[in-house]
Amino acid sequence: MSHDPVVIGVDSSTQSTKALFADAATGRTLAVGRAPHRVTGSGGARESDPDQWWQALREAVARGLKESGAPASSVRGIAIAGQQHGLVVLDRGGRPLRPALLWNDTRSAPQAAALAGRLGGPRGWTDRTGSVPVAAVTAAKWEWLREHEPATAERCAAVRLPHDFLTERLTGVATTDPGDASGTGWYSTATGTYDHEILQLLGLERQLLPDLAATGGTRVGGLTAAAAEALGLPPGVAVAAGTGDNMSAAVGLGLGGAGLLDHPALSLGTSGTVFAATRHRPADPALSGFAATDGAYLPLACTLNCTLAVDRIAALLGLGRDDAAPGGEAVLLPYLDGERTPDLPAASGLLTGLRHATTPHQLLGAAYEGAVVTVLRALDEVLRACGLDPAAPEVATRPLRLIGGGAGGRTWVETVRRLSGRPLIVPSSTELVAVGAAALAASAVSGADPVLIARSWKAGTVRELPPSERDLATWDRVVSVLDSATTTLLGSP
């Protein structure tokens, strides 16, 4: 009996692995297998054991295979989309030398600041890489390792990103894609290659890095016999180069050179991100000027504190996630892990504007407002990076695509709607990173453009919410506190 071909899109995020099994022709989701990750660390440290990601991948694939009812023989392709920036260092046998330093590990802030002052300063970096080093960037983490654990750096035989590590486990091939590579700090979006001067600055040898595939949908190999046995799949299944989680979400949304350009998306997850696919190479020091995985570009702004931080505030108040009311006079900036945008790695949470009448529900609402205003403030910069005027009526009313775990939360949706004043498009799929990875896997099988594949799947089938009147009073109040706190923390006059 024949079965329809299946592809697997893997979202290996900070907190968990999700393996989405999709019909290769229609994109219909057959199952999503899940397995958790463990993150450790305090005082700015955030680490995970890369071998744990591999075990979680095995568990997620096994569960998805069982739930889907599809025979293993029907699987044709697989692709990994992973959390960006993490530093994985391996020995000569491909074994991790230490836990991976994750994107939200802020210990590398001093190293990032030192790097940002080199190569002519921030503008020199954006002209080369599209981005200025911050604590999240892999280059800063490598510098931290060299300074704090020089013996480990000396023993290092390979440097990988999280998704590269898993792809290499699948194929035995050391490869990455332009999208995820553009978050390292040593890949040039201007030339599409590793920047040798930056590698020399970092004391990082080129042979320690994976090769660059043309796009994330490029077939880079097949499942090795060992990987196939571990996953319960046939050897030789096509493996795509894969990409970073934000780049994969863009594919899942149909954003890219073969799809929609210059349309913004807001992802509400552990981090909050706003991005758009564009033909314009971004070089704004205020943004991450990433490459998209399909040959376009992906200007992006990322905050550290989003759903996880607000959930923590809810837990402290003894409230459920949606037990919130507008904050009133209270302003709460939930910078519980420092902050990336604005670049305040040593910041902590800030609460002001309390009154006798302030309720716990308003405090929770204020946490939502602080998180949302922080990420929405970067939206205009992303639009400018696309060559657009944010004040132009056609641009100011352009719908905002809302994705990530928070997009399924009533309070998150209403807070974004109230503070942005924009119409919202909320895709029906809540697993767009995995959907994008599945499209990359299908591209590795067929050779078709992954963005066109995702658009044909209609993964972005949506519900549309009209704009509401913008709450400018709350916006101005939060922005005033945010600007004041930023000035104080940065020591500006």
pLDDT tens by residue, 94-111:
999 999 999 999 999 999
pTM of the model: 0.89
Please check whether residue 265 is in contact with residue 275, taking contact to mean a CB–CB distance below 8 angstroms.
yes
Q: What percent of the chain has pLDDT over 90?
A: 86
Give the span between the Cα atoms of 207 and 193, in whole angstroms.
14
Give the span between the Cα atoms of 202 and 115, in whole angstroms.
9
Active site residue 180: no
Q: What is the mean pLDDT of residues 1-12?
A: 88
For domain 6-246, which CATH number applies: 3.90.650.10, 1.10.287.110, 3.30.420.40, 1.10.3720.10?
Answer: 3.30.420.40
pLDDT for 100 equals 98
Q: Which of 164, 195, 245, 471 is catalytic?
A: 245
How would residue 406 be classed by pLDDT, with cut points 50, 70 and 90?
Answer: very high
pLDDT for 493 equals 35
Q: Which amino acid, one-letter code, is at 274?
A: V
CA distances from 457 to 29, 255, 305, 403, 451 (A): 10, 13, 32, 17, 10
- Domain residue spans in the chain? 6-246
How would residue 461 be classed by pLDDT, with cut points 50, 70 and 90?
Answer: low
Q: Is the pLDDT of residue 143 over 80?
A: yes
| φ and ψ of 243, to 5 deg | -170, -170
Q: Give the residue ranges of DSSP H helices in 244-306.
A: 245-252
The least confident of 70-79, 371-380, 411-420 is 371-380
Please check whether residue 245 is in contact with residue 271, taking contact to mean a CB–CB distance below 8 angstroms.
no
